[in-house]
Structure 1
Amino acid sequence: MKNRGWTMLLCLLLSIVSSSSSSSGGGEQSLTANGKVLELDESNFDLAISTFDFILVDFYAPWCGHCKRLSPQLDEAAPILANLKKPIVIAKVNADKFTSLARKYDIDAFPTLMIFMHGAPEEYYGPRKADLLARYLKKFVAPDVSVLDSDSAISDFIETAGTYFPIYLGFGLNESMISKLAIKYKKKAWFSVAKDFSEDTMVLYDFDKVPALVSLHPTYHEQSIFYGPFEEEFLEDFIKQSLFPLAMPINIDSLKTLKDDDRKIALTIVEDETDEKSNKIIKLLKAAASANRDLVFGYVGVKQWEDFADTFGANRKTTLPKMVIWDGDEEYFSVIGSESIDDEDQATQISRFLEGYREGRTIKKRIGGPSFIGFINSLIGMRTVFMIVFVVAVVMLIQTINKEEPLRVGTRDRADHASGSDSEAESLVHRSGDKED
């Protein structure tokens, strides 16, 4: 009986261990880069962030239409990213239900995508279609500088890089010359050095001597070449100035990419970005940008983003095109005598505008107009706007109360004094009565 008891106890312990192991294995199975979108909540979120070096998290709400359209794109991209040499996992969180996670990461709009790299969160502003999203995210796990040893390797690198990021190709450069800057700008561009290449490649990328650093903007079909000097200061100036196309369309996404650039923006407001007249002026802006790299040249159509254009006093009734110099924040400058650009000799008028700006013939103005609220809404989300309005209302209410409080205190003091006087009078009367008695 005694042996039988020990046997039963041993079997029970083995059963518990087996059950625990099975349960643990199941938990680990749910947090593997298996090519599926992981569903996270408050119980496993921190575990997921600590388990995976790279994880893209979709903070969504079940009722959100944009979230529903994004979901199949994430499902399609997940297996592509999971099979990378350094896997990127895609996960999602119902932020409408798990509000503590939403508060922790300041989620104020749906869907909000955040990429966690070694646990550090950063909001994702890239494309959201599956193929483009996968290409974009591959940049985060790519080598800082890719070393290419043949013409075919260069072609493969360009193909892999895609069109979203600018590409820097170093010819006759040592990897160490650009590695520091490649790390600094890793999230914004692709970097490579070609160790071996043919004359055909030199013709293709239009450089005639080495060392040379070629920058490419595949989306805009633009290319720039830097022949030195290759000290870090000059290299960084070239890289920084080449991150953007010579003339870039201004929209919500491009404004987000500009937020870390401290240059002022030479902004041209046109009626419609896509019409023939605008295409002509965009070409002229590119030519001007080549000679004025201390400015970012951008353009926006009233038809494409009316609220934004209206904040600079431009609308369908304004004489367009119109040029201003914008500080990227709340102020902009108009140039006296160059308030608008007519159809005749626009190149000369652009030159006069820039000359007037540099000579200080400007009027400083502040962004304004009722449509500015619409511009803010589009950038930071309605929930944040409502929160700001609520806080302002509370502050105003407190100020109003504070202003009225002395009157109430005075009234209350007088009332207390009057009440005290009445009581005192009653007391005197009472005491007098007592005294009379």
Structure 2
Amino acid sequence: MLFDHGVPLPSEYTDSRKADSLIENLKKLVAPDVSVLESDSSIKSFVEAAGINFPLFIGFGVDESLIAEYGAKYKKKAWFSTAKDFSEDMMVLYDFDKFPALVSVNPKYNEQSVFYGPFEGTFLEDFIRQSLLPLTVPTNRETVKLLKDDGRKVVLTILEDELDENAPQLIKVLRSAANANHDLVFGFVGVKQWEEFTETFDVKGSQLPKIIVWDTKDEYEVVEGSERLEEGDYGSQVSRFLEGYRSGKTIKKNVGRGSPSLLGLNAIYILIFLVAILVALMYFSGQGEEEQQPRRTHQD
């Protein structure tokens, strides 16, 4: 349990215990849900203090009340602020030409986007939720949790090696596809970077790159005739894959053993708990037999 000036915070800290991450996460927990910025200098100070590990949302001319709910809801995942007073220099720096405008900045992946509204209904939250992830997610042990929390299906491209000379060209194509398909998340992972994870999608013996749609749980889909990406015109191939997926030309498969959904920490905790119960039952069963043994001897 964490306390801020003697007052317990509404949620317990369950994130990384590494020194740098711990400090940054704790700074977020004690910060306001939405910071109010009143000058260019305060905007710069806010961005510098936020660091690079979390996305930032800056509402230029956006009323604080419009994003207060989301500032509280996504407090652990992003920084939120509203800028009441700012110069044209800020408009140029953050690439927006009118306001109110909500600017999303993901410094870790050097990405930035602008939302001009509408600020009613689900539009605003959809923009915030989608901006929590980069356009193309490098899938690893840290980001796979973000993918599962997001709730959208993942168009996952499996490469032999993320550092291969052709990888940047393919990732660029995936970024373009992500821009046009916001109902899906686009990710990539290299066999050399995370072999244990990629093996759960039956890549042994497969020609790579391989592209699938993963539900982030126990199933994934391959598109008939478009499962493998040939070197060359990646754009046309990814487009055909998405067309096939949208039209239902898919084959569903089960994720193999070792997936993060099957062997995550929660599953391990449950397994340990069940083993503990079994040991306890065996112990008390043995105690009962020992108590009955003297009685039988006495009766004999």
TM-score range, shorter chain: 0.7 to 0.9
AA matched with 1:349? Q
1:179 maps onto 2:65 in alignment? no
Say if 1:167 and 1:215, in contact at 8 Å, map to a contact too: yes
Matches within 5 A, 1:85-164: 117-118=9-10, 120-124=11-15, 126=16, 128-164=17-53
Aligned equivalents of 2:87, 2:216: Cα separation in 1: 43
**What secondary structure, in the 3-state scheme, does the structure 2 residue paired with 1:266 have?**
strand
**Who is 2:258 aligned against?**
373
AA matched with 2:9? M
**Who is 1:255 aligned against?**
144
Aligned equivalents of 1:313, 1:265: Cα separation in 2: 17
**What secondary structure, in the 3-state scheme, does the structure 2 residue paired with 1:310 have?**
helix
Matches within 5 A, 1:31-70: 49=1, 53=3
AA matched with 2:161? D
Aligned equivalents of 1:390, 1:297: Cα separation in 2: 38
Residues 134 and 87 (structure 1), Cα distance of their counterparts in 2 relative to 1, 3 Å cut: farther
AA matched with 1:321? P
Say if 1:334 and 1:363, in contact at 8 Å, map to a contact too: yes
AA matched with 1:323? I
Residues 260 and 373 (structure 1), Cα distance of their counterparts in 2 relative to 1, 3 Å cut: closer
**Who is 1:387 aligned against?**
272
**Who is 1:350 aligned against?**
238
Aligned equivalents of 1:347, 1:380: Cα separation in 2: 37
Identity %: 54
Q: After TM superposition, give the deviation of residue 255 of structure 1 in Å.
A: 1.6
Q: Which has the higher helix share?
A: 1
**Who is 1:418 aligned against?**
none
Say if 1:252 and 1:379, in contact at 8 Å, map to a contact too: no
Aligned equivalents of 2:69, 2:268: Cα separation in 1: 40
AA matched with 1:178? I
State the TM-score, normalizing by the size of structure 2.
0.85
Aligned equivalents of 2:209, 2:228: Cα separation in 1: 6
**What secondary structure, in the 3-state scheme, does the structure 2 residue paired with 1:123 have?**
coil
State the TM-score, normalizing by the size of structure 1.
0.60
**What secondary structure, in the 3-state scheme, does the structure 1 residue paired with 2:146 have?**
helix
AA matched with 1:53? F
AA matched with 1:117? L
**What secondary structure, in the 3-state scheme, does the structure 1 residue paired with 2:119 have?**
coil
Gaps spanning 5+ residues in structure 2: where? 280-300
Q: Number of residues paired by the alignment?
A: 279
Residues 260 and 132 (structure 1), Cα distance of their counterparts in 2 relative to 1, 3 Å cut: closer
Say if 1:335 and 1:362, in contact at 8 Å, map to a contact too: yes
1:359 maps onto 2:244 in alignment? no
Residues 388 and 238 (structure 1), Cα distance of their counterparts in 2 relative to 1, 3 Å cut: same
AA matched with 2:160? E
Moved more, 177-186 or 159-168: 177-186
AA matched with 1:340? R
Q: Deviations over 1:40-61 (max 9, x none)?
A: xxxxxxxxx4xx526xxxxxxx
Aligned equivalents of 1:186, 1:283: Cα separation in 2: 30
Say if 1:336 and 1:362, in contact at 8 Å, map to a contact too: yes
1:245 maps onto 2:134 in alignment? yes
Q: After TM superposition, give the deviation of residue 377 of structure 1 in Å.
A: 8.1
Q: Deviations over 1:11-39 (max 9, x none)?
A: xxxxxxxxxxxxxxxxxxxxxxxxxxxxx
Aligned equivalents of 1:280, 1:224: Cα separation in 2: 22
**Who is 1:193 aligned against?**
82
Aligned equivalents of 2:43, 2:191: Cα separation in 1: 41
Say if 2:155 and 2:184, in contact at 8 Å, map to a contact too: yes
**Who is 1:42 aligned against?**
none
AA matched with 1:296? V
Say if 1:265 and 1:327, in contact at 8 Å, map to a contact too: yes
Q: After TM superposition, give the deviation of residue 344 of structure 1 in Å.
A: 1.4
**Who is 2:282 aligned against?**
none
AA matched with 1:152? S
Q: After TM superposition, give the deviation of residue 87 of structure 1 in Å.
A: 8.3
**What secondary structure, in the 3-state scheme, does the structure 1 residue paired with 2:240 have?**
helix
Residues 271 and 87 (structure 1), Cα distance of their counterparts in 2 relative to 1, 3 Å cut: farther
Q: Deviations over 1:105-124 (max 9, x none)?
A: xxxxxxxxxxx834x43521
Aligned equivalents of 1:262, 1:383: Cα separation in 2: 23
**What secondary structure, in the 3-state scheme, does the structure 1 residue paired with 2:226 have?**
coil
1:299 maps onto 2:192 in alignment? no
